[in-house]
Amino acid sequence: MTSDLESEILVLRDKRLTSKQIARKLGLKVSQVNSVIKASAEKTAIARASTGELAPVAQCLVNTKCAELLLEEPTLDESGMGGLGIVLVARTTGFKRFVVCTYMVDYWCLGLKDTMVEKKLNDIKYQQFLKTVYRGFPDGYQEIALEQAQAIVYGAIDYAKSLGLKPHKDFQKTKNHLGSWNGQPKLTFGRQGKPYFIEGPYDNGTQIMQTLRQNVGEGNFDYLIGLG
């Protein structure tokens, strides 16, 4: 394999040709083409890591109900997992290799409830992982832009902060993966113009209610507790 041939493979790959198409065009085996593409991707990933540059975004996802309520036409959500969304950001680290973080958001009150630190996956495990992450959402999930993913997560955190509530402690570990947000688009949080706290099995309901009373005031928020 000559350097000129390797360069030609990468040029064709940049034009979004598949490995089979490249192999057919250049008279090579698919395995040879994949080997060059993989080596190039790994070299690029190492170079980015050494400079602290984030890997390119492969995909950003969120459950469909969350997208409808925050990014499209807000409606009163009385069904399903009210107020909960899961944002997933996958970045490319090599040929069919990804590093993934997830962000569980309560966009009605608590902000960032949970977050999963970087998980490295190949293509097959990544597809399996998506099914696991979104299996609790009957409406499924949809792809969104990175700026929208950032707006949901950072926006929910800022909203919760205005109520006196802090994001999940692991956010400092996953914040860099999400990237810096430029403040757009601006989204509306809460339910019908005010916070709505729904107590989950791992929430400290007593402490959260006390915080809301102190920062929002009795009668200025709705709640549903005792479900744990």
Region 199-219: what's the mean pLDDT? Answer: 94
Query: What torsion, rounded to 10 degrees, do the Cα atoms 135, 112, 183, 69 define?
Result: 50
pLDDT of residue 93: 84
User: Do residues 22 and 114 share a domain?
Assistant: no
Q: What is the phi/psi pair of residue 210, to 5°? A: -65, -40
Q: Is the pLDDT of residue 146 over 80?
A: yes
Range of the domain at 144: 57-189
Of 83, 128, 129, give the one whose Cα is nearest residue 107: 83
User: Do residues 33 and 143 share a domain?
Assistant: no
- The answer to the question of residue 217 being in a domain is no
pLDDT of residue 80: 47
- Between the ranges 3-12, 79-88, 139-148, where is the mean pLDDT highest? 139-148
SS3 79: coil
User: Do residues 70 and 38 share a domain?
Assistant: no
Q: What is the pLDDT of residues 54-77, one digit of tens each?
A: 888 999 999 999 999 899 866 555
User: Do residues 103 and 25 share a domain?
Assistant: no
User: Do residues 92 and 145 share a domain?
Assistant: yes
- The answer to the question of residue 144 being in a domain is yes
pTM, whole model, 2 decimals?
0.78
Instruction: Tell the residue number behind the tokens 């170079």, with chain if given.
Output: 47
pLDDT of residue 9: 87
User: Do residues 81 and 136 share a domain?
Assistant: yes
Task: Provide the percentage of residues in the chain whose pLDDT is more than 90.
Answer: 64
User: Do residues 125 and 141 share a domain?
Assistant: yes
